[in-house]
A and B are shown apart, each in its own frame.
Chain A
Amino acid sequence: MNYLLVAAILLSSGFRVNAEQAQENDLSSLKKQFIQQISTDSDIEEGPFSFNYEFRTVFFSNAVISLFGELTVHDRLPHGWKQYEGKTLYKATDQWKEVSLEDIFPTPENKEFLRSMCEKILKKDPLSYFSGNTPLCETLKYEDIYTFVVDDQHLIIVFQPYVVGSGADGPFVVKIPIDTLKRVWADSHMFCLQLSKSIESRSFLSSWDLDKFYNDVAEVN
């Protein structure tokens, strides 16, 4: 089965996203923006220019689908720009709904747990802005935590370029084991229930790491 095709069908069949996200993720607008940039503001010395978009499943089951998108645009020197996208959907009464971190970490205590856990892990990463002799950042803002995907073992928080580390060294990710989260997140939320059910059923495809993903599929077959 072509999972990219499934993802495309899902998108075109219209799950709900808010207006701001729609504009930010609208590929047609982004393509127009790219053409406008290179035709008006970019210099011949900065080329060649390119626009790449990849969207793939990180987790795929009957009840939960998690997708990771990466937009890489080179339309200027020094390095163009990137944007990461996470979309996680769950099935609720025969309809696919998108889940946000707000849904599964609704209370201030939940949010603080998530923030401090990410901060603690990032402080151990020598490439992040939180480390080194003169760290650029000392405290992680909760507002910077919004892009995420799930696999069968982790909630994977993905940070946008230049938020917690240089854009060239990303994506910076923090993987939090789902077992740890069971005691913390909104366990009764339909997404959490569906994810647990999918993992228990062992009927899923899952991997954040694309190479490992194909290896796993080969071994199962």
Chain B
Amino acid sequence: MNDCRNAEIRDQLPDLLHDRLSAGARAAVLVHVDSCAECRDELALLRGVHRALVMATPRIDTSRIVSALPKPGASVQLRSSRPSRSRWTDWRVAATITVVALGGMSVALLTRSSDSGQPLAVAPGPMPAPQAPVAGPPATGSASVPAVPTTTRGVGRETTLAQSTPSTPVASAADDAPTEIGMEGRLTGLNERQLRALLDDIQQLKAVPITEPEPVTLKVDTKTSPGSTGDMEIM
């Protein structure tokens, strides 16, 4: 199959097939095709390819497609709804930041108040270097709240805990302890008899009733006594 030398006419053959030529152009192409075997052959080829494509194409269910389409104005609604969603998100973010900030400030205030001498339930941090023993908190702090010194012995260190649980039998047990123990809350000044009595008192702690425990107040004092090395006292 040869090509016609008139490229301009050949270019318009598909347009002739689809009737997309103006009246004047269509007439000119038809005149040429009538006298050109190559263009007639090419036009026949175009018709064959077009027919083959049409036959190969499955029928489309347009109603199904239409039912799947978005509703009119959906894109506009989507765009208009964006700012309100953004405002709502911004509001939630702001509220979260506020709550976190208030929480942080509360913790900071509580920590500061504990640093100013008031007992607070704070876990002891890293142990500083041993220092000379210092007397416990003033008697005014523990006089009204009987303390029960309890002793636990860890590896190479002795820890004294002072629990202030006035409404529990623990407190009444502390009332029976020697005065100097309750006032000072340290073991370094106790003789053997006092220590034994203290241990007996501790054993009586088994009788503590099952109740919701009161907040435990710990005073961490990392100072050591002259006779002990590396001991930690918690008052």
**Do A and B come from the same complex?**
no
Please list the residues of chain B having a beta carbon within 8 angstroms of any beta carbon in chain A.
none
